[in-house]
Amino acid sequence: MAKKNKFNYFDAFEKQVEIAAEEADVLIEAIEGFTTAEDMKPILEKAHEIEHRGDLVNHEIRTYVSTDFITPIERGDIVELAQRLDDVTDNIEGIIQRFYMFDVHFMHSQAMEFAVIIKKSLKALAKSMDSFREFKKVKKIRSMVQDVNDLEEQADVLYQDTIRALYTVDATEDAVRVEVWSRLFDRLEACVDSCEAVADTMATIMLKNV
């Protein structure tokens, strides 16, 4: 009887990061190529297809963790990390959806700055996965966490300055635009926070298993 292949959780985590990075590329595409909200429908479909693939990986992880007799790390840690990674993809799709739902009439210049920070955060997470798999290179994990933390701090400063500009400059021209973009920048900043949450979760799991 053929031996059943053991599910590799670390491969699945890597896949989740790849999917989130792919979604971040679509966010950048949406911002760079923006014309009208109505024209974003093909981008929305692409973003949803990617998000659906992320859901499938998350579901697969949960299925195996509930039935495997032995797991490489604690079941709760596996579920938490998988969900935090899935949250990043969900949050990015949510931003793209809101460009359409809020019927934005122009693309704010600072939106791309946030998108680049999100993409850089995901690159840092991707670089850490080999070390995370080995549970040995704690210094590399700490460096990755610091990189993501630094990016999150950049996002905090950008968020503060951008929101202030909305309420001191844009407010004199269009109150609706201020409300719409305040909500969008809230979501963009929260997306960077979700990347940091992944990094912190990985670091905690690593320290528990060295």
pLDDT in tens, the chain (210 residues): 344 568 999 999 999 999 999 999 999 999 999 999 999 999 999 999 999 999 999 999 999 999 988 988 999 999 999 999 999 999 999 999 999 999 999 999 899 999 999 999 999 999 887 778 776 666 667 777 788 889 999 999 999 999 999 988 776 667 788 899 999 999 999 999 999 999 999 888 887 877
Q: Which of 14, 140, 136, 152 is nearest to 85 (CA)?
A: 14
Q: What is the CATH number of domain 9-209?
A: 1.20.58.220
Q: Would you state the pLDDT for residue 4? A: 57
Rg of the chain (C-alpha set): 19
